[in-house]
Amino acid sequence: MIYEKITSRRTIRKYVRKNIPKNVFIKCVDAARLSPSSMNLQPLKYMIVDDQRLLEKVFLTLKWAGYLPDYHPSKEEMPSGYIVILLDKDIRKSYGVDPGIAAMSISMVAYEEELGSCILGAIDKPKLRRILNLPENLEIILVVALGYPAENPIVDRVKDGDIKYWLDSDQVLHVPKRDLEDILKWNEY
């Protein structure tokens, strides 16, 4: 069941505007909290943003699709909420792999709750810091956008080494993935 969930989850960038229940946000953060943490230091903190007054402000600090600069949600398609992953520098100065593990945990719980997610690292961090009124000891690492999907991306095979995602004539997003035999070796290279 976990394998099927992981292999069927896709990044979602366009959403149906519908409120996410608070208990779903809490469940997502709780899964991140209980995820592995290097040396068990647990230096991450989380901010849930679902206030209508803040959603658009946060939205405007994010870049959505590097290979398709014009492919991003409109204001009508923007997420219904965000979970901002923060590093508490009073606990640890660097973050290692912890934010990636936490973001994937959040995304998988969201997917189980029929939400789409997009893990974003292209963030105007100074602007977002001001919007969220963050103290100096908290560093913005990632933002996980959440909402009910308004798109259904398709997985394709990588052709001629081209891994760039693309839109077809019906505006369906295609996401090339390398074949297993191209990335897996046993014991030695």
99, containing H or E segment: helix 98-112
Q: For 15-81, give the DSSP string.
A: EE--PPPHHHHHHHHHHHHTS--GGG---EEEEEE--HHHHHHHHTTB---TT-TT-S--GGG--SE
pTM of the entire predicted model:
0.95
CATH fold for domain 2-152: NADH Oxidase (3.40.109)
CATH superfamily of 153-189: putative fmn-dependent nitroreductase like domains (2.20.180.10)
What the block records as the tokens of 114 is 């029929």
Residue 95: which pLDDT band, with cuts at 50, 70 and 90? confident
- Residue pointed to by tokens 């100065």: 93
Residue 1: which pLDDT band, with cuts at 50, 70 and 90? confident
The stretch 97-107 carries a mean pLDDT of 97
pLDDT in tens, 9-53: 999 999 999 999 999 999 999 999 999 999 999 999 999 999 999
Where in the chain are the domains? 2-152, 153-189
In DSSP terms, 147 is beta-bridged to: 116
pLDDT in tens, 56-92: 999 999 999 989 988 889 999 999 999 999 999 999 9
DSSP 84: E
